[in-house]
Chain A
Amino acid sequence: MSLYSYLLISIIIFTIGVYGIITQRSGIKILMCIELLLNSANLNLVAFSSYNGNATGQVFAIFSIAIAAAEAAIGFAILVALFRLKDTINLDNINILRW
């Protein structure tokens, strides 16, 4: 497969993620979409790394995955806390930061 097909997959995943973030209302679904965004970026990194014959991008991707794991843990913890407080994770109902 050429570099082009990797990038195409990456763009598709990214667009799905963005679409999900904008349209979904559930906090968990949005978090999952954010993971999609991150992973599309990771895919880009690895693809370019392999194309250029340089390992740096792959190392970077591993870091990125580790951080994504931490971020997911925090994000779910926040959602659990939010659920205990409000009995919902529907973000439409959590809009006190407004005029």
Chain B
Amino acid sequence: MFSEFAALIVLLPVIAFVLTLFLGKKLYSGGALLPIAAIAGSFIISVGIFSEIFPTHGMVQQSFPWFAGMNIGILIDPLAVVMLMMVTFVSLLIHIYAVGYMAHDPARPRYFAETSLFTAAMLSVILSDNILQFFISWELVGLCSFLLIGFWYHKPSAAAAAKKAFLVTRVGDVLFLAGIVLLYVNMKLLIDNGTLVMESRSFILQFRTMFEAIPLIDGTQLTYITLLFFGGAIGKSGQFPLHGWLPDAMEGPTTVSALIHAATMVTAGVYLVARTFPMFAATPSTISTGVPDSLLIVTYVGGFTALFAATMGLVMNDIKRVLAYSTVSQLGYMMLALGTAGTVLGAKAVGISMFHLISHAFFKALLFLCAGSVIHAVGTNDIREMGGLFSKMKITAITMLIAALALAGFGLPFEGLGMPIMNIGTAGFFSKDAIIEGALEYGEVTHDMIPYGFAVIAALLTSIYIFRLWFMTFTGKPRSERHSHESPRVMTGPLMILAIFALLFGFSQTGFYGYVEKNFELMDVNIAVHEGEAFHPSALVILLPVIVGVLGLLISYIIYNKRMLDMSKLVSSGNPLYKLLYNRYYEPKLGADIIGVKLTHDVVARSGEFIDRKIIDGLVIDNIISNTLLKLGEIVRKLQTGVVQNYASVTIFGIALLLIILRLIFGGT
């Protein structure tokens, strides 16, 4: 019954967008209730569809021809339905929270309209049934992120961050589009020579047709296509080397950061790779035996990003920047999971990656909303000026601690110790452990332990930076004279709900894997698994993620709470390593200044300006076209004397002439 209303999942927030944009000023609290109601509606429909297709392992498919050779449609398979529920749920909570957070902003109608459209665009990405529709929605997500990052556009830094986000993700988007074009060319070729038979040409870029064609497409071409897709994912999900826009995107309101980082934007890249996973898994193995080339690259980009971003998270002083690097790092984990587990476990990798994506969405949204609550109370982003907030903001402090524990992956691995008790832990414990285990198994099978190394070291750093953040914010003595208070109920409510999910979501692990990994079987796609020797990790290895998590907590506790170690020597501009990290590996300098300003602006844009101004405008237009027209005008304008009699004389003369001509032509007496 709900399946018939699948299109409403996207349409409701779109309607809310239009209404809020035009009527928001006249409605209660800037029209916040419209998007909230619309997204609540989307959430209810999503859950309804889930309850319908879950027992039968079914799918919802609706598709119509759109224009020449393309279709528009809805595909809700297990992968999409879990994403739909997560996005609508998290977005709903963030919207409710924003009622409190944005209470004093005069531009609220614009804010709520844009976040509503943002959510709609992401939902449309999720339930697209073909890659073109996916791409269009993907671009809409990019547009909305631009609008929202630059929400306070009168701040130059926010305007610059919005521009950076738009331009950097654009690099990925162009690659993605190139991938689609290449795929289309290949598919068309297959259809033209009769290898691929399909009912209607308008379904050429549907995911189903794409998967059908996998065995028919040339392997090298498939590698190019998937790598171009992955280029899009790198841009959207902030992977190295296109990660720089994501920390800068902190210039928007904190609720926007929460939306971007948890629900509506960066996960789109991971979702793209998960969605087209059978294509990645089918690429030939030329670099490393048994490992599909594309998955190898996904593994290394993801693993490196996970570690790379975590190192920068260690030294940032802006509460939101730390969280931003954390997101980049965690997205790296998701990519790593798709790459490593995809090689050794096949379709199960999608389950592992999506499980981390969703548990990450809960605790990262929670972290951001807590950070927003702190910023709302203290009025600064700098954790050096915070401290001692625990007694003043108990709910925020405790919920943020829960989120930090989830991010660091705390839990009790009873099963790993051989005890007949179920594992108990936070959501991050279940989801991250599975990824690290997958990386280990990948290492055992392919004798390549580097991804595993990335994952474990990054886990240690994650734990250090997140507890550094927590200790510096909530414990110790207040380091500045600021009046702080707990946030209103409308803000703490969503925090508590998210905290419950960050704590308990992990227990759905087995069911989740079982459900999502069937996704591609439903579409009759088989994913090859790289076979290797049977693998039984030792107890120490199983415990390692938890051990490094606890270790990180202890290190942070000693340094930032007890202040037993003097860090001033390390944390100073004299230390080259600190300088490197603090300057974010000189990425802003290299990316924005050299590539952005020097190359793009000074070389490309200037030469374009030269051609346009001097050659086209200067020679062609100035000399030939405009000069002729100007001279003609000089002559004709003299007719306007401003003397009424002249006009009257001309008019009468003209009429007389006309009468004479008519008389001559038609005759008469």
Say yes or no for A87: interface residue by CB 8 A criterion: no
- Contact of A91 with B644 in the complex, beta carbons under 8 Å: yes
Contacts of B649 in A (CB 8 A): 22
Say yes or no for B155: interface residue by CB 8 A criterion: no
- Contact of A92 with B643 in the complex, beta carbons under 8 Å: yes
Say yes or no for A80: interface residue by CB 8 A criterion: no
Q: How far is the CA of A16 from the CA of B542 in the complex (A)?
A: 115
Say yes or no for A4: interface residue by CB 8 A criterion: no
Please provide the 3 A-B residue pairs with the shortest distance between their CB atoms, ordered closest to farther. A98-B642, A95-B642, A99-B637
Q: List 24 A-B contacts (CB under 8 A).
A: A18-B652, A21-B645, A21-B648, A22-B645, A22-B648, A22-B649, A23-B645, A25-B645, A30-B644, A91-B643, A91-B644, A91-B645, A92-B643, A95-B641, A95-B643, A96-B642, A97-B640, A97-B642, A98-B641, A98-B642, A99-B637, A99-B638, A99-B640, A99-B642
What's the least CB distance linking A20 to chain B, in Å? 10
Q: How far is the CA of A76 from the CA of B648 in the complex (A)?
A: 19
What's the least CB distance linking A24 to chain B, in Å? 8
Q: How far is the CA of A23 from the CA of B648 in the complex (A)?
A: 10
Contact with B along A56-99 (1 / 0, CB 8 A): 00000000000000000000000000000000000110011111
Find the residue from A23, A96, A99 having the highest chain B CB count within 10 A.
Answer: A99
Contact with A along B598-641 (1 / 0, CB 8 A): 00000000000000000000000000000000000000011011
- Contact of B652 with A22 in the complex, beta carbons under 8 Å: yes
What's the least CB distance linking A26 to chain B, in Å? 11
Q: How far is the CA of A23 from the CA of B643 in the complex (A)?
A: 12
Q: How far is the CA of A23 from the CA of B637 in the complex (A)?
A: 24
Q: How far is the CA of A95 from the CA of B642 in the complex (A)?
A: 4
Q: How far is the CA of A21 from the CA of B653 in the complex (A)?
A: 13
Question: What is the chain B residue whose CB lies nearest that of A25?
Answer: B645
Contacts of B644 in A (CB 8 A): 30, 91
Contact with B along A15-36 (1 / 0, CB 8 A): 0001001110100001000000
A21-B645, A97-B642, A99-B640 given; name 4 further pairs at CB < 8 Å. Answer: A30-B644, A95-B643, A98-B641, A99-B638
- Choose among B640, B648, B652 the residue that contacts A98 (Cβ–Cβ < 8 A): B640
What's the least CB distance linking B476 to chain A, in Å? 77
Contact with A along B151-184 (1 / 0, CB 8 A): 0000000000000000000000000000000000
Contacts of B645 in A (CB 8 A): 21-23, 25, 91
What's the least CB distance linking B636 to chain A, in Å? 9
What's the least CB distance linking B652 to chain A, in Å? 6
Contacts of A21 in B (CB 8 A): 645, 648
Contact with A along B378-402 (1 / 0, CB 8 A): 0000000000000000000000000
Q: How far is the CA of A99 from the CA of B638 in the complex (A)?
A: 7
Find the residue from B637, B638, B648 having the highest chain A CB count within 10 A.
Answer: B648
Q: How far is the CA of A95 from the CA of B645 in the complex (A)?
A: 11
Q: How far is the CA of A21 from the CA of B638 in the complex (A)?
A: 22
Contacts of B642 in A (CB 8 A): 95-99
Contacts of B640 in A (CB 8 A): 97-99
Question: What is the chain B residue whose CB lies nearest that of A95?
Answer: B642
Contacts of A30 in B (CB 8 A): 644
Question: What is the chain B residue whose CB lies nearest that of A21?
Answer: B648
What's the least CB distance linking B342 to chain A, in Å? 76
Q: How far is the CA of A92 from the CA of B645 in the complex (A)?
A: 9
Contacts of B637 in A (CB 8 A): 99
Q: How far is the CA of A96 from the CA of B641 in the complex (A)?
A: 9
Find the residue from B638, B640, B642, B652 having the highest chain A CB count within 10 A.
Answer: B642
